Amino acid sequence: MTEVNVAIAGCGQWGVNHVRTFANAPGCRVSWLADTDPKRLAKARELARGAKTAPELEAALKDESVQACVIATNSESHHALARKALEAGKHVLVEKPLALSAKEAGELVEIAGRKGLVLMVGHLLLYHPAVNYLKGLLDKGELGQILYLYSVRVNLGAIRRNENALWSLAPHDISVMLYLTGQQPTRAIANGKCFLQKGIEDVVFFSLDFPGGQVAHAQVSWLDPHKIRKFTVVGARKMAAFDDMEATEKIKLYDKGVNQEIRYGSYDEVLTLREGDISIPYFRMTEPLRLEASHFLDCVRDKKKPLSDGENGLAVVRILEAITQALKSGKPVEI
C-alpha cells in the first residue's frame, strides 16, 4: 500500500480526532500539524509523534512530500485554507460545512476539478455503518418508497459564536437526507430563534420538499435538555429508526404500516393498521471517522471520486443557504 503523507490543520476539539485517526490509519503518515493555538498543537503532537508543527498550514503546503491536507479549523477558514491547499496541488478533506456560501464552495469544486485533485467533505454520517445499513434496506425495497423522514439533533452545547445551530449541526442531517432519498430538494421552509446571542439561532426547525413527493424535516439545537441523535424513516412498507445514542441497538425496523384495501363488493377503500414485529438488525459497527479517513486515503491513492465529494459539499451548502433565506424571510424558498 502506497503511503500517503498528510498535513492536518486545526487540532481543536474535533481536529484531534482526525489526528488520532490518521496517525493510526494503515498506509498513512501525519507529517505536519498546524494550529494557531500552541497548547492545542502540543497536545495533538502527542498523538502523531514525529509530525512537524506550525501555527499556519502554509509551511506544510511548501513541503513537496505532503500529498493531502485535512482541514478541521473553524468553519469560517475552510474556504481560504482549502483553496490554498488545492492551489498548492494537495488533495483535500475539509470538515463540514465545505464553505460558508455556495459561491465559495463552487470555487473549491472548480479548482479541484481543474487540477484533478480529490476534494472531500467530512459528512461523517455517510460513513456510519448504521446509515449505510438503512441505505441498503431502502435500495433493496425493504421499506418501500420513502414517504417522509425526520431527524432530531439536539443537545446542550457546543454553543458556537461564528455560526448558528443550523450551519453547525444540520450539514449532517442534510447529507443523510440527500443520501437516503437519492434526490435534491426543491423547496425549503424554516423557523428558528436566537435566545443566547443576537442574530445566531440556537434552535432551527426546517423542512425540505423532494421532487418525488417526500418531505424531510429536522430539528437542530444546542439549547436542549436532551442529547438526541435520531433519524426516523417512514416507508410505504415498513418504518425504521436510527438512534446514534444507543450503544449497540442503533437500528430498529418496524413492520408497521397502513394497508389500503378495496373490499370485495364495495368501492370503498378501507385503511387497516398493520402492527407487525419490531426487529433489531445486526450490522458490524466500525468507528465512522476511521471509515471516512480510510475512504479519503483510498481516493487519494486511486484518484477516486469520494462519496462525500466537493459536489456533495456544495449541494449541502446550497441547501443551508436556502434554509437560511427561509429563516430570515419567514417564507418558503425554492432551491
Ligand X SMILES: NC(=O)c1ccc[n+]([C@@H]2O[C@H](COP(=O)([O-])OP(=O)(O)OC[C@H]3O[C@@H](n4cnc5c(N)ncnc54)[C@H](O)[C@@H]3O)[C@@H](O)[C@H]2O)c1
Applying CB under 6 A, among 73, 294, 308, 312 the residue interacting with ligand X is 73
Q: In this complex, which beta carbon is closest to ligand X, that of residue 204 or of residue 333?
A: 204
Window 152 to 171, contacts with ligand X (CB under 6 A): 168
Which residue's C-alpha cell is 480529490? 118
Give the residue at shortest CB distance from ligand X: 12
**Which residues lie closer than 8 Å to 27 by C-beta, 6 or more apart?**
1, 2, 3, 4, 297, 301
Applying CB under 6 A, among 12, 144, 281, 332 the residue interacting with ligand X is 12
Applying CB under 6 A, among 4, 6, 7, 11 the residue interacting with ligand X is 11
Decide: is 122 part of the binding site for ligand X (CB under 6 A): yes
Q: In this complex, which beta carbon is closest to ligand X, that of residue 188 or of residue 289?
A: 289
Q: Are 135 and 65 in contact (CB under 8 A)?
A: no
Decide: is 173 part of the binding site for ligand X (CB under 6 A): no
Count of residues making up the chain: 335
Q: Rounded to the nearest 10 degrees, what angle do helices 310-329 and 165-181 cross at?
A: 120
Residue 184, all three cell numbers: 435534491
Q: Are 176 and 316 in contact (CB under 8 A)?
A: no
| CA 114 to chain centroid | 25
Decide: is 124 part of the binding site for ligand X (CB under 6 A): yes
Decide: is 250 part of the binding site for ligand X (CB under 6 A): no
Applying CB under 6 A, among 77, 101, 132, 155 the residue interacting with ligand X is 77
Applying CB under 6 A, among 25, 29, 40, 144 the residue interacting with ligand X is 40
Q: Which of 27, 162, 45, 126 is nearest to 8 (CA)?
A: 45
Which range touches ligand X (CB under 6 A), out of 31-39, 142-150, 244-252, 294-302? 31-39
Decide: is 306 part of the binding site for ligand X (CB under 6 A): no
Decide: is 9 part of the binding site for ligand X (CB under 6 A): yes
Applying CB under 6 A, among 2, 27, 46, 56 the residue interacting with ligand X is 56
Residue 158: asked if its preceding bond is cis (omega within 30°), the reply is yes
Q: Least separation, in Å, of the C-beta of 15 and ligand X?
A: 5
Sheet holding 4-9, edge to edge: 52-54, 28-34, 4-9, 68-71, 91-94, 119-121
Given phi > 0 = left and psi -120 to 50 = alpha, else beta, which region is 303?
A: left
Decide: is 53 part of the binding site for ligand X (CB under 6 A): no
148 CB-contact burial (10 Å; exposed 0-12 / middle 13-18 / buried 19+): middle
Decide: is 137 part of the binding site for ligand X (CB under 6 A): no
Applying CB under 6 A, among 5, 21, 75, 175 the residue interacting with ligand X is 75
Helices (H), the chain: 15-24, 38-45, 58-62, 78-87, 102-115, 129-139, 165-181, 288-302, 310-329
Q: In this complex, which beta carbon is closest to ligand X, that of residue 126 or of residue 134?
A: 126
CA–CA dist 206, 176 (Å, integer): 15
Which range touches ligand X (CB under 6 A), out of 11-19, 105-113, 216-224, 314-322? 11-19
CA–CA dist 309, 31 (Å, integer): 24
Window 91 to 110, contacts with ligand X (CB under 6 A): 95-96
Applying CB under 6 A, among 8, 19, 30, 34 the residue interacting with ligand X is 34
Give the number of other CB atoms < 10 A from CB of residue 38: 10
Which range touches ligand X (CB under 6 A), out of 33-41, 45-53, 223-231, 237-245? 33-41
Q: In this complex, which beta carbon is closest to ligand X, that of residue 143 or of residue 200?
A: 200
Decide: is 74 part of the binding site for ligand X (CB under 6 A): yes
The count of residues interacting with ligand X (CB under 6 A) is 24
Q: Which residues are near ligand X by CB under 6 A?
A: 9-15, 34-37, 40, 56-57, 72-75, 77, 95-96, 122, 124, 168
